[in-house]
Amino acid sequence: MSTVREIFDSMAYGPAPEGHAEALAWIAAHQGRFGHWIGGAFTAPAATFETRNPATGKVLAEVSQGSGEDVAAAVATARAAQGRWARIGGAGRARVLYALARLVQKHARLFAVLETMDNGKPIRESRDIDIPLVARHFYYHAGLAQLLDSEKPGFVPMGVCGAVIPWNFPLLMLAWKVAPALAAGNTVVLKPAEYTPLTALLFAEISREAGLPKGVLNIVTGDGDTGAAVVAHPGVDKIAFTGSTSVGRKIRTATAGSGKALTLELGGKSPYIVFDDADIDSAIEGLVDAIWFNGGQVCCAGSRLLVQEGIAERFHAKLKRRMDGLRMGDPLDKCIDVGAIVDPVQLETIKGLVAGTEGEVYHAACAVPEGCFYPPTLISGLHAASKLMQEEIFGPVLVSTTFRTPGEAVDLANNSRYGLAASIWTENVNLALDMAPKVKAGVVWVNSTNLFDAAAGFGGVRESGFGREGGWEGLMAYLKPAAKVKPLAAPKPVPAPAEAVVEGIDRTAKLYIGGKQARPDGGYSQAIWSAKGKLLGHVGLGNRKDIRNAVEAAHAAKGWGKATGHNKAQILYYIGENLSARAAEFAARIKDQTGKDGSAEVEAAINRLFTYAAWADKYDGQVKQVPMRAVALAMNEPVGVIGALCPDESPLLGLISVMAPAIAMGNACVLVPSEVAPLPATDFYQVLETSDLPAGVVNIVTGSHKELAKPLAGHLDVDALWSFSSARLSGLIEAEAAGNLKRTWVNHGLARDWMGAAGEGRAFLAQATEIKTIWVPYGE
């Protein structure tokens, strides 16, 4: 045994093992076998499988493989409990959530040890990060529940929420899903990851001590088939999923057309950008946390290092020295930096990806234990298109390349199908705040990494998913408007009369693409008739090539997103002014097409333009109150290119109600106007041409909603698609949108009162924006 003097001479770390007797005793109290948690109690274990400690390979317990019948029982129990849980009110739910937070703290060491044994992450991470954040989420959402009735009137719970969570943060992901769902008045059926179910079962058991009513929280264990059964069950009203992009895409397809609400937090390949003026030592310490925290098994891991060329050699040399000092070993040892990989299957995946790289591979010169461990690894010399610069590895592997200018750094950072998080390191705060809006990510950390809090929304863009977790924005994903909605009655187009009335000079309305009138690619057009048999004109029938051209034009107008809110407001006011000058003409056109007086619709359309002009510079972000020396800015950004199938029943007002919020928030759009009454839209682009709106910001393609919905929904350069069409297209749109996981907002065949409050407001603004959380720590 080393003497004290020898230890001080070498400064070597000695073992500091955490006891695990209490965790093993809890497992033994259940005879090492667990059923599902349904209706406030464990079911009898059946069809069990083993869960193992990844660091030792030893079996910890046996848990039950959930079947479709188990899921159905859990959903039925949750449905029966939901009404009572919602009726106790926000204040009543707040007390239960507060009690859950306190119980997590009281059992914090047991949770931390059990998490490390089941997952393989170092005990320091479970103890000091995961479990405190779990408690924080329940405390924070207890507060939201307390305020919910007064702050969000007119909203009600979704109902029964299905949650499917991953194995990298088992208990924390439970908190991210369960806390907001319960705060909002929903009940939950949760499926934990098959590798790491134990802390979820422990949480369920202690929830009785918080007074959580039976059936409010139900947990069904099992593999991917069990998760698929939760997703597919018709009694589930919302799905919240965290996991891989490939599985998220399958869930998007499986829920298409079902009417289920959906939030997805998926994979990432987050850039870690280091400028030459950065504090290099701090950036390297941050990088250790970014990529080797939890063994790199983190969706937002800073796994893609972009370092400015002038300091790259020195940075890599220092990084390698730091890597060599990392300690691997028993995750229950408090001196360990990097723990075990969660399962041998994941370990083989990591090895296979690294073995196939063309880059220069450096493995840390630290002792690697036998078993399910992989050393911290740096792969440099890669180019932007290299497989490992694009694909998520989900392990302790960092890939690196260099850049010269800030513009090149932005291009490299955005050269990814993902958009979850990014870190920017520079001592120039002006540069950092200039870069943050340009990087495509839902979260940006300035001179920091992996900062999380319940008050600050977390989530991605692109193929990293949609929706936010945390803050009011996260809670709103578990609520819906209380107003009852009627089925949409589809208006019918006027058929060609037996005897046509043709007057005046022939008039054929073209498409409107890139600020110009354009003939349809297919060369087809359609006659439009009045109710009295008068030929009103012809409109072009757009096809997929016209959609392609319109999307290209919209992308070419990306400068619109950088315009100030004041500038966008002025143009919206000008559009309203020019429409007002032609109000009588548009009213007559609407009457010809619909047979109804169009004066009220035109006046409402002008008013709506003025409303969104007013919102253009007033839809503000927030500064979140996080419990650390940092500012977390929740900034509203444009979604990008929004496609929209406009309502048939209000041909002018419907189009403007969709267009105005989109462009007010800085988006470009591709609009497919009313199919039965398209002429007000083709007249309207003449207003746009005289209103100083930049070319490509608004593009109008007339034609069949059924024909144009698929190319719009499937287009990889469309960032969101809205549909208020009378055609039953919601399922098709949601399924096609799975290609690039674009956001969708569809009507599911339900009507909307375009003349009333439902036709405008914050719901439209929220759909037209992404919330980006920018973290800026301060202090010495």
Q: Running DSSP on this structure, what letter comes out for residue 127?
A: I
Residue 739, judged by CB atoms within 10 A of its CB (0-12, 13-18, 19+), counts as: middle
Q: Is the residue at 75 inside a domain?
A: yes
Question: Which H or E element spans position 137?
Answer: helix 131-151
Same domain, 232 and 364: no
Mean pLDDT in residue range 688-712? 97
As a whole number, mean pLDDT of residues 670-676 equals 97
How much of the chain, in percent, has pLDDT values that exceed 90?
Answer: 93
Residue 130 is classified by DSSP as I
pLDDT at 15: 84
Amino acid at 333: D
CA distance 601 to 591: 10
Nearest to 93 by CA among 239, 210, 215, 200: 210
Q: Is residue 497 part of a domain?
A: no
- What average pLDDT is seen over the chain? 96
Q: Are residues 251 and 292 in the same domain?
A: no
695-646-763 Cα angle (round to 5)? 95
Q: In whole angstroms, give the CA distance from residue 751 to residue 653.
A: 15
Nearest Cα to Cα of residue 648 among 501, 578, 747, 714: 747
Closest CA to 40 of 179, 187, 183: 187
* Residues 131/138, Cβ–Cβ less than 8 Å: no
- In the chain, the N- to C-terminal Cα span, in Å, equals 41
Task: Return the amino acid letter for 338.
Answer: V
Inter-residue contact 473 to 443 (CB < 8 Å) = no
52 CB-near residues (< 8 Å, 6+ apart):
58, 59, 60
**301 shares its domain with 236:** no
When pLDDT is cut at 50, 70 and 90, the band that residue 628 belongs to is very high
- Eight-state DSSP code of residue 14: P
**What are the φ/ψ torsions at residue 645 (nearest 5 degrees)?**
-95, 110
Q: How far is 68 from 423, CA to CA, in rounded Å?
A: 42
Tell me, yes or no, whether 779 lies in a domain.
no
Q: Which of 265, 649, 736, 770 is catalytic?
A: 265
Query: pTM for this one?
Result: 0.95
- The partner residues of 465 in beta bridges, in order of sequence, read 265
Distances (CA, A) of 421 to 99, 271, 448: 32, 7, 12
**Rounded Cα distance, 102 and 134, in Å:** 10
Instruction: For residue 451, give Cα distances in angstroms to 263, 322, 462, 626.
Output: 21, 22, 21, 10
Q: Is the pLDDT of residue 749 over 70?
A: yes
**Is the per-residue pLDDT at 156 higher than 80?**
yes
- Report residue 1's pLDDT band, with 50, 70 and 90 as the boundaries: low
Clarify whether residues 222 and 328 are in a common domain.
Answer: no
User: What pLDDT does residue 9 have?
Assistant: 72
- The CATH number of residue 372's host domain is 3.40.309.10
Amino acid at 552: E
Residue 698 has pLDDT above 70, yes or no: yes
Residue 651's closest CA among 438, 757, 487, 493? 493
pLDDT at 10 over 80: no
- pLDDT tens digits, residue range 285-335? 999 999 999 999 999 999 999 999 999 999 999 999 999 999 999 999 999
Residues 280 and 244 in one domain: no
> Which amino acid appears at position 38 of this protein?
I
Looking at the structure, tell me whether residues 202 and 332 fall in a common domain: no
**What is the helix, strand, coil percentage profile of the chain, to 5?**
45, 20, 40
Contacts of 589 (CB under 8 A, 6+ apart): 536, 598, 679, 680, 683
Q: Same domain for 224 and 300? A: no
**Residue 372, domain member (yes or no):** yes
435 and 376 share one domain:
yes
Please tell me the predicted confidence (pLDDT) of residue 33.
98
pLDDT in tens, 492-517: 888 888 777 788 777 789 999 999 99
Q: Is residue 17 part of a domain?
A: no
Q: Which residues span the domain enclosing 48?
A: 33-266+473-479
Same domain, 197 and 225: yes
- The answer as to whether 27 is a domain residue is no
The single-letter DSSP state of residue 296 is G
Q: How far apart are CA 772 and CA 766, in angstroms?
A: 12
Verify whether residue 577 is a known catalytic residue.
no
Backbone torsions φ then ψ of 670, nearest 5 degrees: -120, 115
Tell me, what's the pLDDT at 450?
96
> What does the pLDDT look like over 479-494, one tens digit per residue?
999 988 999 988 888 8
Number of domains in the chain: 3
Q: Specify the pLDDT at position 495.
A: 85
CATH number of the domain residue 639 falls in? 3.40.605.10
Q: Which two tokens stand for residue 253?
A: 């397809």
Tokens for 759? Answer: 């036709």
Q: List, for residues 102-149, the tens digit of each pLDDT value.
A: 999 999 999 999 999 999 999 999 999 999 999 999 999 999 999 999
Q: What is the pLDDT of residues 195-223, one digit of tens each?
A: 999 999 999 999 999 999 999 999 999 99
pLDDT (0 to 100) of residue 23: 98
Measured CA to CA, the distance from residue 723 to residue 736 in angstroms comes to 13
Other Cβ atoms less than 10 A from the Cβ of 372: the count is 23
> What is the tens place of the pLDDT at every residue in 227-248?
999 999 999 999 999 999 999 9
Q: Which of 186-190, 427-431, 487-491, 492-496 has the lowest mean pLDDT?
A: 492-496
Give me the long-range contacts of 705-710 (CB less than 8 A, separation at least 24): 705/645, 705/672, 705/675, 705/729, 707/541, 707/542, 707/543, 708/542, 708/543, 708/544, 708/547, 708/645, 708/672, 709/645, 709/672, 709/733, 709/736, 710/544, 710/736
Residue 538's DSSP bridge partners are 508, 527
164-185 residue pLDDT tens: 999 999 999 999 999 999 999 9
Measured distance CA(744)–CA(46) in Å, rounded: 40
With respect to residue 357, please indicate whether it lies within any of the assigned structural domains: yes
Q: Which two tokens stand for residue 649?
A: 């029943």
pLDDT for residue 11 is more than 70:
no
CB 268 within 8 A of CB 442: no
* 209 and 288 together in one domain: no
Q: Where are the beta strands (DSSP E) in 211-326?
A: 217-219, 238-242, 261-265, 271-274, 304-308
pLDDT computed for residue 780 by the predictor? 72
- Residue pair 372/378 in contact by the 8 Å Cβ criterion: no
* Res 497: pLDDT: 83
Tell me if 571 is assigned to some domain: yes
Say how many residues make up the chain.
Answer: 780
pLDDT band, residue 634 (cuts 50/70/90) = very high
Same domain? For 247 and 315 the reply is: no
Rounded distance, CA 682 to CA 235, Å?
A: 43
DSSP per-residue letters across 670-728:
EEE--SSS-HHHHHHHHHHHTTTPPTTSEEE--S-HHHHHHHHHH-TT--EEEE--SSS
Whether residues 386 and 249 fall in one domain: no
